[in-house]
Amino acid sequence: MKKELIEIRVNGRTHELAIEPSELLLDVLRQNLQLTGSKRGCDDSSCGACTVLVDGVPTLSCTALAMSFASREDVGVQSTPEIVTVEGIAEHGALAAIQKAYGDWGGAQCGYCTPGFMVTVKALLDNNPEPSEDEIRHALSGNLCRCTGYTQMYQAIKAAIEAEQKAAR
């Protein structure tokens, strides 16, 4: 299949890539850009391990065509959506509050699903800095973990919220 030249914006940087029109965003991130945080867990959008943010919205990259997020002048798409992976949620080279809290509270067991959870939590906290427990559970309902009972994850999220509030003061 013939490759097409696209521009894609990931973690604040624009990349020019030659990809096949049928390539999934997850594969482009992992193979072309070596951003391996997002994981392939199910290939049918049921686990959330591949979650990335597209303009701040959690998006399952295992079922999304990379071409859908590219700036392509040949078809008149001028604006390029901003894609953020788990590698891009760090703040000024330091761990984001959610990343630190996951480590401190044991929010990950095997770690396979953790990037998808962290990205989803980032979107939640960006839109609602003080979510209720029900809002947290609802936001995470599209992400599955097969190792934990989720308790440590909820503790980590609450710790991240407290850390962000303390930093804002």
The Cα angle at residue 81 between residues 79 and 85, in degrees rounded to 5: 155
Domain count for the chain: 2
Check residue 73 and give its pLDDT.
58
Check residue 89 and give its pLDDT.
94
Residue 110 contacts residue 147 (beta carbons within 8 Å): yes
Residue 55 and residue 106 share a domain: no
Residue 129 and residue 58 share a domain: no
Residue-wise DSSP of 108-151: -SS-SSHHHHHHHHHHHHHH-SS--HHHHHHHGGG---SS--SH
Q: Which residues contact 137 (CB under 8 A, 6 or more apart)?
A: 154
Q: Is 71 helix (H, G, I), strand (E, B) or coil?
A: strand
Residue 28 and residue 11 share a domain: yes
Check residue 94 and give its pLDDT.
87
Check residue 147 and give its pLDDT.
84
Residue 101 and residue 83 share a domain: no
Report the predicted TM-score, pTM, of the whole model to 2 decimal places.
0.91
Please identify, among 88, 111, 133, the residue that sits at the C-terminal boundary of a domain: 88
Q: What share of the chain is helix, strand, coil (3-state, %, to 5)?
A: 40, 20, 40
Q: What is the CATH number of the domain that holds 43?
A: 3.10.20.30
Residue 104 and residue 69 share a domain: no
Residue 138 and residue 69 share a domain: no
Residue 102 and residue 127 share a domain: yes
What range does the domain containing 146 cover? 97-168
Ranges of residues in the chain whose predicted pLDDT is under 50: none
Residue 106 and residue 68 share a domain: no
Please identify, among 59, 88, 117, the residue that sits at the C-terminal boundary of a domain: 88
Residue 107 and residue 52 share a domain: no
Check residue 77 and give its pLDDT.
52
Locate 62 and state its tokens.
Answer: 């295992």
Residue 49 contacts residue 116 (beta carbons within 8 Å): yes
Helices (H), 22-86: 25-27
Q: What is the CATH number of the domain that holds 147?
A: 1.10.150.120
Please identify, among 62, 88, 114, the residue that sits at the C-terminal boundary of a domain: 88
